Amino acid sequence: MSGGPRLPRIARRRSKLHGWGVFALEPINKNKRIIDYAGELVDHKESLERETAYLARGEIWCFTVNSRWVRDANVGGNVARFINHACRPNCYSETAGRTIWIRAARRIEAGEELTYDYYTDGERIIPCRCRPGCTRKL
């Protein structure tokens, strides 16, 4: 991560959406890389076993990298694991090799909570809390 352009300053704080969230500490321009989604690289078979245990606790940590790999942020994750899901998010994810970047979907102001769409494809048992009245399940 050294040598590249400076990444925006962000911080974990209590979220009004759910538990912890991650917030911009400075304005972030559209499409700027904000943080990489860190976590142990595991294959899909291993990920499925872990996800089942996490889902039982209402937690989502596994992020698909490609057809072979998944990153489990519960092991070796960084602050990106606290970014909440939203159905109308201000960030998106982009995979470059085995790196998952969280990027700004629009200009984000200082103090805004960062969100992206998890696009989960599992059992959909966790009610979405992105806004009052959202009926989606993750």
Q: Does 103 bind Zn ion (CB under 5 A)?
A: no
Minimal CA–CA distance to 62: which of 85, 82, 39, 45?
39
Q: Which of residues 5-44 bind Zn ion (CB under 5 A)?
A: none
CA distance 64 to 3: 26
Report in angstroms how near the CB of residue 8 gets to Zn ion at its nearest.
Answer: 24
Tell me the pairing of strands 91-96 and 99-104: antiparallel
Instruction: Give, for 62, the enclosing helix (H) or strand (E).
Output: strand 62-64
Report in angstroms how near the CB of residue 91 gets to Zn ion at its nearest.
Answer: 15
Report in angstroms how near the CB of residue 113 gets to Zn ion at its nearest.
Answer: 14
Report in angstroms how near the CB of residue 10 gets to Zn ion at its nearest.
Answer: 22
Q: 21: Cβ–Cβ under 8 A, 6 or more apart, which residues?
A: 12, 13, 14, 15, 82, 83, 84, 113, 114, 115
The torsion angles phi and psi of 56, rounded to 5 degrees, stand at -60, -25
- The stretch near Zn ion (CB under 5 A) out of 6-14, 65-73, 85-93, 104-112 is 85-93
Q: Which of 54, 87, 95, 105 binds Zn ion (CB under 5 A)?
A: 87
Q: Which of 75, 110, 125, 134 binds Zn ion (CB under 5 A)?
A: 134
Q: Considering CB under 5 A, how many residues would be counted as binding Zn ion?
A: 5
Chain residues in the site for Zn ion (CB under 5 A): 87, 128, 130, 134, 136
